[in-house]
Amino acid sequence: MDPRSQIIVALDCDDRAAADAVVEQLGGECRFYKVGLELLTAAGPEFVKDLVTQGKEVFLDLKLFEIPNSVSGAVRVAGALGVSMLTVHGMGGSSIMSAAIEAACHFPGLRILALTVVTSMTDTDLNDIGVSDSVDKQVLRLARLAQEAGCHGVIASPQDVTALRSILGPDALIVTPGVSLPGESPADHARPGTPRAAIAAGASHVVVGRTVTRAADPAAAFRLVRASLAP
């Protein structure tokens, strides 16, 4: 896969002007963007539409965790926007994930990804909510559940990729947030890794945020990430 297609830039911005500036600075370098709750709330679905119109792919990271009917409705709206990837929360269970998959069938370009365990969470955090297993075990449990429900792949930390690839097989998407170049701070991620290590372990995509968006020259920073993925 072309490294440019494997890198998803997270537009974790609190207003449209800031997001537009990053997209303009990256120009043709970046093909894929993540839009999360913050930016969607600030800029609305029109921003997503505009990215798609520009020929960009959009990963809409909503982590849907609602009753199945509401999840189905949200998936249909996302599909109509032209989104390429959409997240549901694996801890919502099979009914939520199955509802998302069924709704996505009407949009051939839409892939449903199940969030396993948020990359900021640790074993202690899971224990606080009544999950006695380790993060590693919970990630694999939810990944198997997602696969059984028909999800196209999962969201997980770079440290989970090797084990996930072994149980999900070669075709599943494994998208990894929590990546940064060597020497950089992992920010809020408790289970980080580098883009190169994630891809080498079997990730299909890596999500980079501040490494690119807060760089003095975002395009140059993106090229550094891309170069790090080269064999």
Q: CA-to-CA distance for 89 and 81, rounded, in angstroms? A: 20
Render pLDDT for 27-36 as a digit per residue (tens, 0 to 9).
999 999 999 9
Render pLDDT for 78-88 as a digit per residue (tens, 0 to 9).
999 999 999 99
Centre a 10 Å sphere on the Cβ of residue 129 and count the other Cβ atoms it contains. 8
Centre a 10 Å sphere on the Cβ of residue 14 and count the other Cβ atoms it contains. 12
Report the catalytic residues.
63
Q: CA-to-CA distance for 164 and 182, rounded, in angstroms? A: 23
Q: By the 8 A CB rule, do 37 and 11 touch?
A: no
Give residue 185's pLDDT. 63
> b/e per residue, 208-222, with b = 16+ CB within 10 A?
bbebbbeeeebbebb
Give residue 182's pLDDT. 76
Q: What is the DSSP letter of 50?
A: H
**pLDDT beneath 70: ranges in the chain:** 1, 3, 183, 185-190, 192
Domain 3-229 fold: TIM Barrel (3.20.20)
Give residue 192's pLDDT. 66
Angle at 64 (CA atoms; ends 95, 46), nearest 5 degrees: 135
Centre a 10 Å sphere on the Cβ of residue 137 and count the other Cβ atoms it contains. 15
- The domain segmentation of the chain, as residue ranges, is 3-229
Please provide the distance, in angstroms rounded to a whole number, between the alpha carbons at the two ends of the chain.
Answer: 12
Q: By the 8 A CB rule, do 115 and 143 touch?
A: no
